[in-house]
Amino acid sequence: MGASYEKTYRQSITDPERFWADVAGSLNWMRRWDRVLSADKPPFSRWFEGGILNTCYNVLDRHVEGGRGNQPALIYDSPVTSTIRVYRYRELLDAVARCAGGLARLGVTKGDRVVIYMPMVPEAVIGMLACSRLGAIHSVVFGGFAPRELATRIEDAKPKVVLSSSCGIEIARVIPYKPLLDAAIGMCAWKPEACVIVQRPEHRVELTPGRDIAWDSLMDSEPAPCTPVFATDPLYILYTSGTTGKPKGVVRDNGGHLVALSWTMRNLYGVEPGEVYWAASDIGWVVGHSYIVYGPLAYGCTTVLYEGKSVGTPDPGAFWRVIDEHHVSVLFCAPTAFRAIRREDPEAKFVKRYRMPSFRTLFLAGERCDPETLRWAEQVLQVPVIDHWWQTETGWAIGANCIGLGQFPVKPGSCTKPVPGYEIAVFDSGGKPVPAGTQGNIAVRLPLPPGCFTTLWQNDADFIKTYFSTYPGWYFTADAGMIDKDGYLWIMGRTDDIINVAGHRLSTGAMEEVLSSHPDVAESAVAGVHDPVKAEIPVGFVVLKAGRKRDPLDLEHELVKMVRERIGPIASFKEVLVVSRLPKTRSGKILRGTIKKIADGTSYTIPATIDDPVILEEIRMALGQKGFPKR
């Protein structure tokens, strides 16, 4: 067991250039690379320098030319609109080439940015692939973000064109997108030259003259050929939460990305070309980029684009129906989706209605997986349930149980083995490696393998400072964890102010910025507090300015509305407590960790450095009145 893993892992670490060059050989290159890895300017790693290719060619044209033209490439399954639509490889290629032709007509060329603000519709995938066909750089913004978040991203990426939709659909609620888009553009100094709008029948909109173009007229274009790009040219920018309100623009290259993701399909996920792979995520997140779009298509699989939730759709067995109906081999989702299903169907009655003979493995990621959820999923599905750990920055798993290389026994509780390509260590705060079984900060030795971020968009300085200054020569993951005596890696949680809400990465710092901007609020803290389904939810604690008197419920209502309007509904920000002051150390640092422990009902010791311990009791009482801890 795992012999193949041990050998593969060793090869990837001792001779990474040979290892990844072998993988790259299976892809189509217009020009072979000069050097597999250029790492002479650390922390920058340039994979396949000098190599020329096109990502879209590799994920579509190559498969059509190789005989997969009639194989389904993308299955759009949308219970919220009662639609199932299948795009075969040649159909998807045709749509993407015409979309690229339309974008080219709008003046989009290699290196231009295109922002995609769309719900889970095929046009979003077509738009992403059309950008890659032209060598343009897409930046997908998750639809649950508010206009201000979209505006920040537009201002930073400076797109020539924005692709959007008339609306998104959240179970039974239609969300008009155009007002959000208009508001965002209104806030920006940078104005895109054109916005292309998909008119959905559920909600049609008036196009803005001189700016907007209907998707259908864009598609009425001659197909565009693939533009050659360097392996090291950017494919996309994906903004992710940082420790401040300003998101970080993670930049992914073309060559390394394609090589790494292709490798993962068989070796990590154990799928073969022609099989159906379903990542039940959203194209707005990294999981959606890597495993709804690029990974499965690069490997000649069929991918599922699912517009819906794990629960709340008319069919409580929605996930099992999709697996059964589309012959899914591998499902990848966040543990929160399973906690929601389990809450709705604890006896797993709906699983028994479906046969799912094709289904082999469930992969979970995006947040810490609690052992109970993992065991429940194993028991009801009777397939291996594999946790794996990764980040937007890496683009693919750092820790996993690589099914294709021989499965290890599963240890429940966010526990994995290092994935080939990643040399991992756990350090104490002084930079010394800690002994096996001891918790510390997880770091990855440079050079990072192909597919990991190459920089932050137009911000090399922050790239270096945020990720590579803590432990020189190592990538600082900001996750705490340990390596046990069997070589398993345990992920414990973030060491910064990032929280994971229903598998979505959010910054409490960004929420605090919103709360503190309220005219009655003197200061604020936001803690990620345990929630039985979403794992964590943000809870706000605010101190009023001297002399202000406010009804706590009214103030809560205003603050919840502000966070929803400025960050978006996806923050799931619903609870605010007014307190007389915040617990702080004598040097003024807010004790968010202690607040969290009180809210979670876990044991805590009063920190020796606290300036005034009495406040902790006030906070405990206030949380109790709001029903915390939640079980």
Cβ-based nearer residue to ligand COA, 144 or 255:
144
276-335 residues near ligand AMP, rule: CB under 6 A: 286
Strand partners, 385: 362
Cβ-based nearer residue to ligand AMP, 310 or 391:
391
- Interacting span for ligand AMP (CB under 6 A) from 82-90, 387-395, 528-536, 541-549: 387-395
| Burial (Cβ within 10 Å: 0-12, 13-18, ≥19) of residue 117 | buried
- Interacting span for ligand AMP (CB under 6 A) from 175-183, 389-397, 458-466, 540-548: 389-397
If one asks whether residue 502 binds ligand COA (CB under 6 A), the answer comes out as yes
Spatial contact of 151 and 188, defined as CB atoms under 8 Å apart: yes
- Interacting span for ligand COA (CB under 6 A) from 146-154, 426-434, 488-496, 569-577: 569-577
Strand partners, 528: 538
If one asks whether residue 138 binds ligand COA (CB under 6 A), the answer comes out as no
Proportion of the chain in helix, strand, coil states, percent, rounded to 5: 35, 25, 40
Supply the minimum distance, in Å, between the C-beta of residue 531 and ligand AMP. 15
Residue 388 touches which member of ligand COA, ligand AMP, none, C-beta under 5-8 Å by kind = ligand AMP
Spatial contact of 449 and 257, defined as CB atoms under 8 Å apart: no
Please give the C-alpha separations between residue 317 and each of 89, 320, 352, 502, in angstroms, as whole numbers: 29, 5, 9, 19
Cβ-based nearer residue to ligand AMP, 359 or 390:
390
DSSP 291: I
If one asks whether residue 285 binds ligand COA (CB under 6 A), the answer comes out as yes
- By CB under 6 A, name the one of 97, 311, 410, 599 that touches ligand COA: 311
Cα–Cα dist 123/118, whole Å: 8
Q: Give me Rg for the CA atoms of the chain.
A: 24
Which amino acid appears at position 238 of this protein? Answer: L
Q: What angle do CA 491, 497, 500 make, to 5 degrees?
A: 55
> Which two structure tokens, joined as six digits, stand for 141?
């913004």
DSSP 104: H
Cβ-based nearer residue to ligand AMP, 165 or 414:
414
Strand partners, 11: none
Supply the minimum distance, in Å, between the C-beta of residue 120 and ligand COA. 7
- Interacting span for ligand COA (CB under 6 A) from 100-108, 122-130, 263-271, 281-289: 281-289
> Which two structure tokens, joined as six digits, stand for 329?
């081999």
The answer to whether the peptide bond before residue 519 is cis (omega within 30 degrees of 0) is no
DSSP 1: -
- By CB under 6 A, name the one of 58, 414, 454, 508 that touches ligand AMP: 414
Dihedral class, residue 465 (left if φ above 0, else alpha if ψ from -120 to 50, else beta) = alpha
Cα–Cα dist 129/95, whole Å: 10
Which amino acid appears at position 235 of this protein? Answer: L
Cα–Cα dist 481/284, whole Å: 27
Cβ-based nearer residue to ligand AMP, 484 or 520:
484
Compute the half-sphere exposure of residue 386: CA atoms within 13 Å on the CB side of its CA: 26
Spatial contact of 48 and 36, defined as CB atoms under 8 Å apart: yes
Count of residues near ligand AMP by CB under 6 A: 19
Residue 414 touches which member of ligand AMP, ligand COA, none, C-beta under 5-8 Å by kind = ligand AMP
Supply the minimum distance, in Å, between the C-beta of residue 198 and ligand AMP. 26
Supply the minimum distance, in Å, between the C-beta of residue 533 and ligand AMP. 16
Cβ-based nearer residue to ligand COA, 452 or 563:
563
- By CB under 6 A, name the one of 300, 503, 528, 583 that touches ligand COA: 503
Supply the minimum distance, in Å, between the C-beta of residue 241 and ligand AMP. 8
If one asks whether residue 389 binds ligand AMP (CB under 6 A), the answer comes out as yes
The three-state (H, E, C) secondary structure of 452-501, written as one string: CCCEECCCHHHHHHHHHCCCCCEEEEEEEEEECCCCCEEEEEECCCEEEE
209-248 residues near ligand COA, rule: CB under 6 A: none
352-371 residues near ligand COA, rule: CB under 6 A: 365-366
Torsion of CA 322, 325, 331, 336, to 10 degrees: 20
If one asks whether residue 313 binds ligand COA (CB under 6 A), the answer comes out as no
Supply the minimum distance, in Å, between the C-beta of residue 543 and ligand AMP. 29
Binding mask 355-374 for ligand AMP (x = CB under 6 A): ----------xxxxx-----
Cβ-based nearer residue to ligand AMP, 99 or 400:
400
- By CB under 6 A, name the one of 254, 392, 455, 508 that touches ligand AMP: 392
Supply the minimum distance, in Å, between the C-beta of residue 504 and ligand AMP. 7
Residue 248 touches which member of ligand COA, ligand AMP, none, C-beta under 5-8 Å by kind = none
Bridge pairing between strands 83-88 and 72-78:
antiparallel
Cα–Cα dist 539/541, whole Å: 7
If one asks whether residue 143 binds ligand COA (CB under 6 A), the answer comes out as yes
Residue 556 touches which member of ligand COA, ligand AMP, none, C-beta under 5-8 Å by kind = none
Dihedral class, residue 460 (left if φ above 0, else alpha if ψ from -120 to 50, else beta) = alpha
Footprint of ligand COA on this chain (CB under 6 A)? Answer: 119, 143-144, 168, 170, 175, 280-281, 285, 287, 309-311, 333-334, 336-337, 340, 365-366, 502-503, 533, 569-570, 572
Interface contacts to ligand AMP, rule CB under 6 A: 240, 286, 365-369, 387-392, 414, 479, 491, 494, 500, 505
